[in-house]
Amino acid sequence: MKILVTGCNGLLGQKLIALLTTLPEVNLVATARTPLAGAWDVPFELMDVTDTAAVEQVIARHTPGVIIHAAAMTQVDVCEQNQEACYRANVLGVENIIQAARRCGAHLVHVSTDFIFDGQREMLREDDAPNPVNYYGACKWIAEQRVMASDVSSTIVRTVLVYGILPGIVRSNILTWVKESLENGKRIQVVNDQWRTPTLAEDLAYGCYLAASKGARGIYHLSGKDYLSIYDIAMRTADFFGLDTSLVIPIESTKLQQPAQRPPRTGFNIEKARRELGYEPHSLNEGIAMVATQLRDQA
C-alpha cells in the first residue's frame, strides 16, 4: 500500500513517518513545504498544499493509494489574525488535495479538529452538530464539508489537543510548554475552565493508519480517553516530572484576552473508533511516561 503523507515536518507528520517506516506493507512518500526534518531515509517531495500545480504534479507522479492529509495551519490565534493565510492553507489546500486524490483514485484521510464545535457539550460524538467559535475552526469545518461533498473515498479523523515530542520540532504543545517553563522556574497561567481529551501524537498517527488500512469511510473521533481541564493536564505533567506545581497558576480563559475564542468543553467519545477501527489510546499518564522515555533516549 502506497501512502503519501502531507505536512511531514509537523508533530503528527513525523510520528506518521516513524510508524509507517516500520510497516513492511507500506510504501511511504513523505511531503512537506520545507526540507524534511529528521534523518529519515524515505522518498520525499517538497510540496506546498496551497500550490495547485505542485500538488497535482507530485501526487500524479507517485499515484498513492492513500493520502493522509496532515498539513494544516493550526495556530489558533495566528489563524484569527491572518484569516487569508488560514483559509488558503486549511480550505484551498484541502481542495487541492481532494482534486489530486480524485485524479489518481486515492483514499483520503483528512485530519480535522474538535475546534469545529462550540464547546457547549463534552465527550462529543461524530454526529454532533458543528458550530465553530473561531476562524480556525470555521475553516476546518468548511474543509470537512468539501471532503464530504466530494466523490473521493475518504475518512475524516477529528482529534483533540495533540501532544508529544520529537527532535527538531520547535513548536511547543501543552506538555512541552509546561515542562520547559517550569524547569526554567517560570510561572505560567493555565486555563481552568476549558476541558479536553488530550491526544498522544503516536495514538493519532496509529489511528490515521488504521483508517487508511481499512479504507474506512466517514467521520471518526480519535483522541485520548481522559477528560480533564487544561489546568489538570498541566498539573499532571508537573507532578510526573517532579516540578514545582506552585508555579502553575489557574486562570479563567476570559482573563487571557486571546485573539481567538476557544470552545470551553470538547473532548471526544471514541467508541465508534474503538469498535470499527480497533483504536485504543494511551491514558494521559501513560502518554507522559512515553514522552519522558523519549526525552531520556535523546539525552
3-state SS of the chain is: CEEEEECCCCHHHHHHHHHHCCCCCCEEEEEECCCCCCCCCCCEEECCCCCHHHHHHHHHHHCCCEEEECCCCCCHHHHHHCHHHHHHHHHHHHHHHHHHHHHHCCEEEEEEEHHHCCCECCCECCCCCCCCCCHHHHHHHHHHHHHHHCCCCEEEEEECCEECCCCCCCCCCHHHHHHHHHHCCCCEEEECCCEECCEEHHHHHHHHHHHHHHCCCEEEECCCCCCEEHHHHHHHHHHHCCCCHHHEEEECHHHCCCCCCCCCECCECCHHHHHHHCCCCCCHHHHHHHHHHHHHHHC
Query: What's the mean pLDDT in 155-176?
Result: 88
Report yes or no: 59 and 67 within 8 Å, Cβ to Cβ: yes
Query: What's the mean pLDDT in 274-299?
Result: 95
Q: What percent of the chain has pLDDT over 90?
A: 95
CA distance 253 to 127: 28
Render pLDDT for 71-95 as a digit per residue (tens, 0 to 9): 999 999 999 999 999 999 999 999 9
Instruction: Indicate if the pLDDT at residue 62 is higher than 80.
Output: yes
Indicate the domain borders of the chain: 2-229+257-298
CA distance 270 to 157: 11
Question: What CATH number labels 2-229+257-298?
Answer: 3.40.50.720
Render pLDDT for 209-263 as a digit per residue (tens, 0 to 9): 999 999 999 999 999 999 999 999 999 999 999 999 999 999 999 999 999 999 9
pLDDT, mean over the chain = 97
Instruction: Indicate if the pLDDT at residue 170 is higher than 70.
Output: no
What are the grid coordinates assigned to 145, written together? 464539508
Look up the pTM and report it. 0.97
The pLDDT value given to residue 297:
87
CA distance 214 to 217: 9
